[in-house]
Amino acid sequence: MTPPTRPIHVTLADHFADAGVSRHRLRLRLASGEEFDCHSPSFDVDRLVLVVTTYDGVARTIRPGEIQALYERRARWPAYAGLTIATVAIGAGISALLVPLLTPLGAVYGALFGALGGAVAAAVVPSILPSAVPFEYARLLDRLGPLAYWRAVLPNADA
């Protein structure tokens, strides 16, 4: 016996209940054949509609029955690893130069403190960047090429 499939509005409500999901760029394909990219999604559980903002700035209200496929843009782990390595290296380099000029500590201590600061920044930046500048973050994900991918949100969405 096959398990019953979940209604699409339940799947959408569960997915968009996570506040972090609103940071991701979405691609919607509707039953009418229209396909568009959008951001700032929220699912209204009272009216059972998905509200999104297109990149033209237009707010759209979409009923779950109209959605044929729904994808979200995500960065792959090598992109996050590269961001971490670059941030730590830049922090270490800058601090190795500045700390000896501003304090009695040497360049080694400056590099160590800069690397620690870079590690903290690398942990914070990916969580702040998408919500602070959603348009630029979407452009960045487009530029990442193979370091980003479209993940199917709906189980019946075809690739």
pLDDT digits (tens, 9 = 90+) for 53-107: 887 788 888 888 888 888 888 888 888 888 889 889 998 999 999 888 888 888 8
Best-predicted range by mean pLDDT (52-66, 118-132, 138-152): 52-66
Q: What's the confidence (pLDDT) of residue 93?
A: 92
Q: pLDDT band for position 159 (50/70/90)?
A: very low
Q: What is the mean pLDDT of the segment spanning 119-129?
A: 82
Domains of the chain: 8-75+148-152 (2.30.30.100), 77-143 (no CATH)
Best-predicted range by mean pLDDT (51-60, 103-112, 145-154): 103-112
What phi and psi, each to the nearest 5 degrees, are found at residue 73? Answer: -85, 125
Q: What's the confidence (pLDDT) of residue 6?
A: 72
What phi and psi, each to the nearest 5 degrees, are found at residue 71? Answer: -125, 155
- Residues 53-66, buried b or exposed e (16+ Cβ, 10 A)? beeeeeeeebebeb
| pTM for this prediction | 0.65
Q: Would you say 25 and 37 are in contact if contact means Cβ atoms under 8 Å apart?
A: yes
pLDDT tens for each residue of 33-47: 888 888 778 888 888
Which of residues 119 and 4 earns the better pLDDT score? 119
